[in-house]
Chains A and B, each alone.
Chain A
Amino acid sequence: MQPTLNPDTSNWDDIVVFDRYSVNFGEPIQKDDIVALRDPIDGRKMLVKRIVAVAGDIVKTLPPYPDAEVFVPEGHVWVEGDEPFRTLDSNTFGPVPLALLDSRLMYIVWPLDRIGPLRPPIPPVPERGAPRDFRWYSNLAAFERGQRRQARVTTRSTTTSHS
Chain B
Amino acid sequence: MIPSSWLHLARPAIKNVGLACLHLINFGVALHLFKENVGGLCFMSGPSMLPTLDASGELVLESILPHRLFPNKLGRGELITLTSPLDPSRVVCKRVLGFPGDVICVDPTGLTAHSTEHVIVPKGHIWVVGDNAAWSRDSREYGPVSMALVRGRIAARIYPLSRFTVFSKDATYIE
Residues of A within 8 A of B (CB): 38-43, 73-76, 93, 97-101, 162-163
Top 7 nearest A-B pairs (CB, nearest first) are A43-B148, A41-B124, A40-B146, A99-B88, A97-B85, A99-B83, A75-B86
- Additional 8 contacts, C-beta under 8 A, given A41-B122, A93-B122, A99-B85: A41-B124, A41-B125, A41-B146, A73-B142, A75-B86, A97-B83, A97-B86, A98-B88
| Beta-carbon contact of B84 and A163 below 8 Å | no
B146 in complex: contacting residue of A97, A101, A162, CB < 8 Å? A97
Min CB distance A21 to B, Å, is: 14
B86 contacts which of A42, A43, A74, A101 (Cβ < 8 Å)?
Answer: A74
CB-based nearest A residue for B71: A43
Chain A residues within an 8 Å CB radius of B142? 73
Residues of A within 8 A of B169 (CB): none
| B residues 116-159 touching A (CB-CB < 8 Å) | 122-125, 137, 142, 145-149
Task: For the complex formed, measure the closest distance between the CB of A93 and the CB atoms of chain B, giving whole angstroms.
Answer: 7
> Is B87 a contact of A38 with CB atoms below 8 Å?
no
- A163 pairs with B137, CB closer than 8 A: yes
| Chain B residue with Cβ nearest A39 | B148
User: What are some 22 contacts across the A-B interface (CB < 8 A)?
Assistant: A39-B124, A40-B146, A40-B148, A41-B122, A41-B146, A42-B124, A43-B124, A43-B147, A43-B148, A73-B86, A74-B86, A75-B84, A75-B87, A97-B85, A97-B145, A99-B84, A99-B85, A99-B88, A100-B148, A100-B149, A101-B88, A162-B87
> Which of these, B71, B122, B123, B149, contacts A97 with CB under 8 Å?
B149
Interface size class on chain B is 10 to 19
One digit per residue, 1 when the CB lies within 8 angstroms of any chain A CB and 0 when it does not, for chain B 79-108 equals: 000011111100000000000000000000
Can you list, as one digit per residue, whether each of B18-46 has a CB less than 8 Å from chain A (1) or not (0)?
00000000000000000000000000000
Residues from 49 to 105 in B contacting A, C-beta threshold 8 Å: 71, 83-88
Within 8 Å by CB of B85, from A38, A42, A76, lies A76
- The answer for the CA separation of A101 and B88 in the assembled complex, in Å, is 9
* Distance between A75 CB and nearest chain B CB, rounded to angstroms: 4
CB <8 Å contact, A100 and B146: yes
Residues of A within 8 A of B124 (CB): 39-43
Alpha-carbon separation in the docked complex, A26 to B85 (Å): 19
CA separation between A98 and B149, bound complex, in Å? 10
Complex-state Cα separation, A43 to B150, whole angstroms? 10
Tell me whether A75 and B88 are in contact (CB under 8 A).
Answer: yes
Report B-chain residues with C-beta under 8 Å of the C-beta of A100.
146, 148-149
- A40 partner residues in chain B, CB cutoff 8 A: 124-125, 146, 148
Q: How far is the CA of A163 from the CA of B147 in the complex (A)?
A: 24
Alpha-carbon separation in the docked complex, A73 to B85 (Å): 10
